[in-house]
Each structure stands twice: as C-alpha cells, then as structure tokens.
Amino acid sequence: MLIKPIKEFIVGSSYFFDKFRKYNKKDTDYLYIMPSDCIFKNQQVKIEDIDVFMYSDRTKEKFIKDQINSNDYITVGKFIIPEFLEYIEADIDDISVLKHVFEQLDDKHKYELYIFECYISNKKPMLTKYQKRKAFDIYMKYR
C-alpha cells in the first residue's frame, strides 16, 4: 500500500534563498501533511541530503498549540512558509503567539526570527526584496 502525503511543502533555507547566487544548499527540507490515520506522522526522516518532517493533518489551532508545547524549536520554521499558512488557514494574528518560540532558535536559524518579525511588521506573510536580502545576510553570517 502506497502512503502519500495530503500536501507537501518545501521548508527551510532553500525555500527562501535558493535563487541567491552565494547560497550553498546543503540539504532540502520538506514538510508532509499526512492523513490522520497514517502511521507515518509526527516524525522526522533523513535520507542523504533530504529531511522530511511528517505531521498529521490538523487544525491551525492544534498546529500552533503543539508547537508551543514542543521543545523542538527548529520545527517552528514551518510557520514562515506562506503556502503552509494558507493551507492551515492561519494569518499573522494566529502565528504572532509563536514569537517566544522563534526567539529560542539557535544562531544558525536566526534568519527565521527575522523573517517572522518582518511578517508581523508587514501584517502579512511576505518579504520585500530588501527584507529577503537582509534575511540572507543573517543566514550567511552564521554559516
């Protein structure tokens, strides 16, 4: 039996910086939304240079609550992927409660905090060219 995700998203640095000439992609991260009856959910799998984060399909409230209650800060990055936010029908007000989680990220992921802060400031999940460039500069500073 073939188990397919309901929805698939590219997440992580390659989502934002793949078009930058100086970007040196070390891996690609995917987020899979799995059917709720699937045994492969709420897991992370690494295969060579691909990381797959699998989550059961759930409401935005449940995604946000689970993130707040998790000690796995690195997975908060899914909340800065506009297509993911659209899929779970979340807006900036919904994700604003995650600020303290973004603030827990290590230096290598500080660019995600900056992107999150830009979204809050812009009142929507989008970056200007200047903001995207600054996010890349922050990314490069710690790599």
Residue 1 lies in a domain: no
Domain containing residue 123: 7-141
Q: Are 132 and 95 in contact (CB under 8 A)?
A: no
How many separate domains does the chain show?
1
118-127 pLDDT, tens per residue? 999 999 999 9
CA-wise closest residue to 106 among 136, 139, 135, 132: 139
Q: Tell me if 2 is assigned to some domain.
A: no
User: β-strand 28-34 against 50-56: which pairing, if any?
Assistant: parallel
CA distance 71 to 101: 9
pLDDT tens per residue, range 41-60 = 677 888 889 999 999 999 99
Asked if 73 contacts 112 with a C-beta cutoff of 8 angstroms, the reply is no
Whether residue 70 lies inside any domain: the answer is yes
| pLDDT range class, residue 12, cuts 50, 70, 90 | very high
In-domain check, residue 43: yes
